[in-house]
Amino acid sequence: MSKRILILGATGRTGKHAIPFALAKGYQVVALVRDPAKIGVTSDDLTIVTGLPTNADDIRGAMKGCDAVLSLLSPLTRGEAISFRKINAPRVLERSMINVLQVMNEYGVKRILILSSVGVGDSWKYAPWYVKLLVKLTNFKVIFADHNAQERLVQASGTDWTIARPVGLNENVTAGKIAVTYDHTPKPFQMSRKLLAKFFIDNLYSETYIHKAPMLSEI
């Protein structure tokens, strides 16, 4: 039986790379997106569902028949993140994950992989000083609060979860190799979004990182 996955955040800077990788592996892909016009891929194995992850019914419709969930959602836009102007925290990740986990339980779906960041949860001590400064001075504090809330929900969910904590993401098209660590600050502190997307797709049905939160960088 063909594997069928739900991707959230499929039109984002990492998500746009995930769909081609998944299709290349022969997976059936469902993308829940706000704006279908932003999906730059067409395939008989790609189903585009218009909706929002913060709406439980939209999640319910999109997840039907899927056996794995990949969340590549971002809490804020890049411009909002680095702004010094305070914003009201939308808590998109937390609100979405409450819905996702509820529907996974309803459908009996066990596998979920989510995008987080170095510095979230117990990896805070491995974030470099400038990341900690950004959290203190900018809306990165909003991002990290949302990531922390999402991670806590996932870790307590009873699912087969994997939390990926990448470092300084860039838009490089040529990708190197992934370095994985759990106990020190990743060096160098950079990684391409394309390589990150490949990591997620390569490990969708692998047991290597179940119940683990690896920090990822590129060498």
In this predicted structure, what is the pLDDT of residue 83? 47
Q: Are 71 and 63 a contacting pair, CB within 8 Å?
A: no
Which residues make Cβ contacts (< 8 Å) with residue 117, sequence separation at least 6? 143, 144, 147, 165, 166
Strands 178-181, 215-218: pairing is antiparallel
- Residue 80 is predicted with a pLDDT of 47
Residue segments in the chain with a per-residue pLDDT below the cut of 50 = 76, 80-84
Q: What confidence score (pLDDT) does residue 141 get?
A: 85
Residue 82, both tokens: 């680095």
Query: What pLDDT does 166 receive?
Result: 94
Domains of the chain with CATH codes:
4-218 (3.40.50.720)
Give CA–CA dist 33/10, Å, rounded: 7
The partner residues of 25 in beta bridges, in order of sequence, read none
What is the structure's pLDDT at 89? Answer: 56
Supply the pLDDT for residue 143: 87
- Reference 39, options 26, 22, 61; nearest CA is 22
Against a cut of 0.75, is the pTM above it?
yes
Helix 15-24 / helix 193-202 crossing angle, nearest 10 deg? 40
As a whole number of angstroms, the distance between CA 21 and CA 26 comes to 9
Quick count: other Cβ atoms within 10 Å of Cβ 118?
25
Among 207, 215, 188, 218, which Cα is nearest to 68's?
A: 207
For residue 17 the two structure tokens come to: 């790379």
Task: Report the pLDDT value the prediction gives residue 88, as an integer from 0 to 100.
Answer: 58
User: What is the pLDDT, as a whole number, of residue 187?
Assistant: 86
Cβ atoms < 10 Å from Cβ of 79: 8
Q: What region, left, alpha or beta, does residue 96 occupy, with left being phi > 0 and alpha being psi -120 to 50 degrees?
A: alpha
The β-bridge relationship of strands 68-71 and 160-166 is unpaired
What is the DSSP annotation of 152-207?
A: HHHHTS-SEEEEEEE-SEE--SS---EEEESSS--SS--EEHHHHHHHHHHTTT-S
Assigned token pair, 212? 């683990």
pLDDT at residue number 2? 67
pLDDT digits (tens, 9 = 90+) for 18-63: 999 999 999 999 999 999 999 989 999 999 999 999 999 999 999 9
